[in-house]
Amino acid sequence: MLDPKLLRSSMDTIAARISKRGFVIDTARFNDLEERRKLLQVRMQELQNERNVRSKEVGHAKASGKNVDDVLKSLKDLSDELKSVEEQFASTQIELEDFLARIPNVPHESVPDGKSEEDNQVVRVWGEPKKFTFTPKDHAELGAGQGWIDFETAAKLAGARFVVLRGPLARLQRALIQFMLDLHTREHGYQEISIPYIVNADCLFGTGQLPKFREDLFSVSGDSERYLISTAEVPVTNTVREQILETVQLPVKYVCYSSCFRSEAGSYGKDIKGMLRQHQFEKVELVQIVKPSESYHALEELTRHAEAVLQRLELPYRVVALCTADIGFAAAKTYDLEVWLPGQQRYREISSCSNTEAFQARRMKARWRDEAGKIELVHTLNGSGLAVGRTLIAVVENYQDKLGRIHIPRALQPYMDGIEVIE
């Protein structure tokens, strides 16, 4: 959430910057809500002061033996009006907070301007796509023959956009998860954390999924409002909600493996073949909570940590800076990592690494105390390190041979008991 004080003082500037995202702030409505809030607040304070004066008058009148009926009636009328104004003020505050909660983050000045994903900018490229002597197959075709990738059984169990993995590919997925967790904890300094897969609405509001993206979530029936997590970013980042961290506690660096659940609302007909866009998928998530002055250094670091997974697996990829029209709701700046998929002959997203600055922290009331005792909001960052299913796809497609076998990357062989080839 944006700073309301900043909006009040610099609305035109902020609105112009956010318009580059394709989002138009209804400044007239904001000004109307603000004006109403101010008038109600002033009137509320006037009535409170007047009530205090009248209450003292009642006390003095009673002490001197005077009739207080008229004063009491006047006091009651004033209290009734005060209660009405307080209710109007509270209602206006709720309306204003809901308005603010739907405004996306302000893009960082280094984010390239653009109107669509076509305007994203390639920052760097690592590795070269392999030149096959045969026409490479996609992962669905490679895995279907042996029943290793089974969409039909998954559809019988849960419906479309689910998958059953069997045998060596189920094992390969487990190896990828373990490899990623070991790399990030042993070499990159992250602490592993295990979290609930069900969260309350406060968590989703804190990281920006609610109220705007409710339709993208799977809700859980019960006596309270709860949801399946769309990413481990939600519960992991919320571990610092409503806390004041001390300087010595920063930076906080967590790595978390989890299943993720997304309804994929609005994506019908998009990436329906294979495992690219599923309702349930596995991900290893990186989260950092840092001092504001260090957040853009942390973004570069976190992105390099995600890249290291692809480099160890020797998978060609590129880093793309998302333009203003393509960054996520809570992000101030985002790098996407896109891995080369021979089956599609194109690069596909495998990780998004974002700095949300204080946007999530303000919603979560996540703060830190500096050496001088001053309390301010932390900055939060997150990124996939990596999306496991898409990494599995990349390994299967990039390491196939003409016989349909899958060769195991050297970095994964210790996690596969030395197996070098899946026959």
* Closest by Cα among 188, 215, 242 to 385: 188
Enumerate the known binding-site residues: 231-233, 262-264, 285, 349-352, 382, 384
| Residue 331 token pair | 């992000």
| C-alpha torsion 78→80→81→82, nearest 10 | 80
- Catalytic residue, from 161, 262, 348, 363: name it: 262
Tell the burial category of 266 from Cβ atoms under 10 Å away from its Cβ (0-12, 13-18, 19+).
exposed
46 is catalytic: no
Enumerate the known binding-site residues for L-serine: 231-233, 262, 285, 382, 384
Enumerate the known binding-site residues for ATP: 262-264, 349-352
- Catalytic residue, from 258, 295, 352, 354: name it: 352
- Catalytic residue, from 171, 349, 367, 369: name it: 349
Contacts of 161-166 with CB under 8 Å at 24 or more apart are 161/264, 161/272, 161/277, 161/278, 161/279, 162/278, 162/279, 162/280, 163/275, 163/278, 163/389
242 is catalytic: no
390 is catalytic: yes
* Cα 351 from Cα 17, distance rounded (Å): 26
| Residue 91 token pair | 């209602």
17 is catalytic: no
262 is catalytic: yes
Scored b (16 or more CB within 10 A) or e, 5-38 reads eebeeeeeebbebbebbeeebeeeebeebbebbe
3-state DSSP call for residue 329? Answer: coil
Q: Which residues pair with 380 in a beta bridge?
A: 289
Do 364 and 346 contact (CB within 8 A), yes or no? no
| Catalytic residue positions, numbered | 262, 277, 349, 352, 390
